[in-house]
Amino acid sequence: MSETTKPAAAVEGPTPLSETRAGHSHGSPLALGIGAIGVVFGDIGTSPLYAFRETFASHHGVPGIQVDPIHIHGVLSLVFWSMMMVVTFKYVLTIMRADNKGEGGSLALLALINRKSEGARWRGPLVLLGVFATALFYGDSMITPAMSVLSATEGLQYVHPGFKNWIVPLAVAILFALFAFQSRGTDKVGKLFGPIMLLYFGTLAALGLMYVVTDPQIVLETLNPLNAYRFFAADGYRAFVAMGSVVLAVTGAEALYADMGHFGRKPIGVSWLTVVLPCLMLNYMGQGALVLAPATDAAEIIKDPFFLMIPDLVRIPVIFLALAATIIASQAVISGAFSLTQQAIQLGFIPRMEIKHTSASTAGQIYIPVINWGLMIMVIILVLFFQSSSNLAAAYGIAVTGAMAIDTILLAAVLLALWRWPVWKAAPLVLAFILVDMAYLGANLIKVPDGGWVPLMMGLLIFTLLTTWARGRSLMRTSMAEGSLPIEIFAKSAKNSSARVPGTAIFMSSSPDGVPSALLHNIKHNKVLHERVIVLTVLIEDEPFVAPECRVDLKDFGDGFYQMKLRYGFLEETDIPAALRAADMCGGKFEMMHTSFFLSRQTLIAAKKPGMAIWREKLFAWMLRNAATAMEFFKLPTNRVVELGSQVEI
């Protein structure tokens, strides 16, 4: 990695890591496919509630699109070909092939590129783009629950008009309950996600089919790309503005790639092509057929075609099913934010945070209190500020389209630098994807004055925090390494200079080079050394998992002095006592009751050095003070830890 983003856990040189995909989901293709439908497609699955409606609404002072066959068919064609280009061709058939030992997502792809492009000049800017995509995901994690739950709750007004004044309070109550439930874990409830979403997608298809059979021609009109062209030819600028709402139909496409490690590329791809895509398109075409049906008030129907297409007989259960689907979609995004945060912590972009595991059997089931309550506050603020899903639609889409565009740029690096495709072969593919991404991003940038500034502001704020932490850690490590004593020299000089006492002392060090300050302070103040002295460094690799046989790297300096490196993947839990219990290669087994852990706690002193602006140094110092301690993060026994402080200037 570049100097600005290299995590404390990086190590030079090749590492004999396993090709294992431990921790990934296993099971039959059918079970994995149903699971993928329940988790991966929740966001894109709830788009029919609002996407088609918003395309015909007035935006940014531009009057709404006329409701007639040429515009209905044009929008439906745009929706279908957007799904084909963005979801099917870009993500399912192309980007999902660029996996990091089975894992997907911007950070996993970034780690893969870093590992394969050591020393490349273009790597630094690419890392910053990947970090910005991560920041945009957090913005999307705030908007998606607000938009999804609010749009479903609005359907209650079609059960009884009296619910209209209760839409926002009900949405806030549902969201509060959803976030409050996170600490209990979603392992048991998660097993219901697949069947519920399968029923939901079946309902989407059935509702759409009711109206498609009355106008079968709409299927051919939707599949015909010339209708999208005619739409632009007839109403160019308004068609461009409408693209900012059409893209709402593919929000959640990036989740296919991010969740690939849980279900695998094939189950996700098969579920998309055989279930999700057909059901979604049937519903969109049904909405279009309903609006175009004779003897209907098209101007009224287009205000909320999804809820108005539901027959009175099943209106209440379908609305509650849609509400359940939006809660599931929100749950998937929240869980994704937890997983992304864990990756970012391990890769050195975010300070250590308390991570709780909510399932004894599933490693990916985690809960991060700070992220959970922070997201909840922001989501509820968004609901109270925007009040309706139509208003919130102005803020929705920019974060997603920005992240999609960055994924295309990262894909270009994979094709050219990793897969060694010739330029003539890679250029047409990347150019096609980037043209689509830029068109949608451009259409969404028009939304900035009307609410689009919200995800951009969130993204820039989070990007500043991520890069400040990475840069500050790099500068702090450099400052601490200046004048540090090599471990080999220290071991030779210290063996007879201090009294030896029984037991084991483990000195945690963020760098594999040099003596940690805690060891020097211990000798200076206590004037003793334990019989077994181990300088321990935890190294986080640019791979999701490390095989157990590659976990421990040990160097023996004699006279009871050892240097140990514990290697972990960026998706693994760093449980040091568990790793030590499995190791017996440096003088016997580790007994926790006879082992003391010495930690260095740095107090940062902001200084006018060329490394970072003073305001960023103060921001980094605040983040450092509020980070979880190494004792909590590495699962160290609380009664066996000694902390020794030092001051560092950057």
- Cα 388 from Cα 398, distance rounded (Å): 18
139 to each of 374, 513, 591, 610, how far by Cα in Å? 12, 38, 45, 31
Q: Which residue has the tokens 């970072």?
A: 612
- Asked if residue 5 has pLDDT above 60, the reply is no
- Cα 54 from Cα 52, distance rounded (Å): 6
Q: Kindly report the average pLDDT of the chain as a whole number.
A: 82
Tell me the per-residue pLDDT of 147-203, one tens digit each, with 9 for 90 and over. 888 888 888 888 877 788 888 899 999 999 888 888 776 655 666 788 888 999 999
Q: What is the DSSP string of 92-108?
A: ITTGGGS-BTTB-SHHH
- Cα 543 from Cα 17, distance rounded (Å): 8
Q: Residue 261: name the closest of 454, 481, 102, 453 by CA.
A: 102
193 in Cβ contact with 38 (< 8 Å): yes
Q: What letter would DSSP give residue 362?
A: -
Q: Which residue has the tokens 């983040």?
A: 623
pTM of the predicted model, to two decimals? 0.81
Report the DSSP beta bridge partners of residue 269. Answer: none
How many CB atoms lie under 10 A from the CB of residue 140?
27
Q: Residue 337: name the closest of 116, 178, 168 by CA.
A: 178
Comparing 15-29, 115-129, 489-503, 616-630, the range with the smallest average pLDDT is 15-29
Percentage of the chain exceeding pLDDT 90 = 15
- Asked if residue 495 has pLDDT above 60, the reply is yes
Tell me the per-residue pLDDT of 538-592, one tens digit each, with 9 for 90 and over. 888 877 888 888 888 888 888 888 888 888 888 788 888 888 887 777 777 888 8
148 in Cβ contact with 311 (< 8 Å): no
Percentage of the chain exceeding pLDDT 70 = 89
How many CB atoms lie under 10 A from the CB of residue 474?
22
- Asked if residue 91 has pLDDT above 70, the reply is yes
The full 3-state SS of 592-637, as one line of letters, equals HHHEEEEEEEEEEECCCCCCCCHHHHHHHHHHHHHCCCHHHHCCCC
Tell me the per-residue pLDDT of 194-248, one tens digit each, with 9 for 90 and over. 888 899 999 999 999 999 999 899 999 999 999 989 888 888 788 888 888 888 8
* Predicted pLDDT at 73: 92
The arrangement of strands across the sheet holding 641-649 comes to 552-558, 561-568, 528-540, 499-508, 595-605, 641-649
Q: Which domains does the chain have, with CATH numbers?
A: 29-457 (1.20.1740), 483-649 (no CATH)
* Predicted pLDDT at 201: 94
* Predicted pLDDT at 20: 34
- Cα 273 from Cα 84, distance rounded (Å): 10
- Asked if residue 380 has pLDDT above 90, the reply is yes
Q: What letter would DSSP give residue 56?
A: T
How many CB atoms lie under 10 A from the CB of residue 126?
21
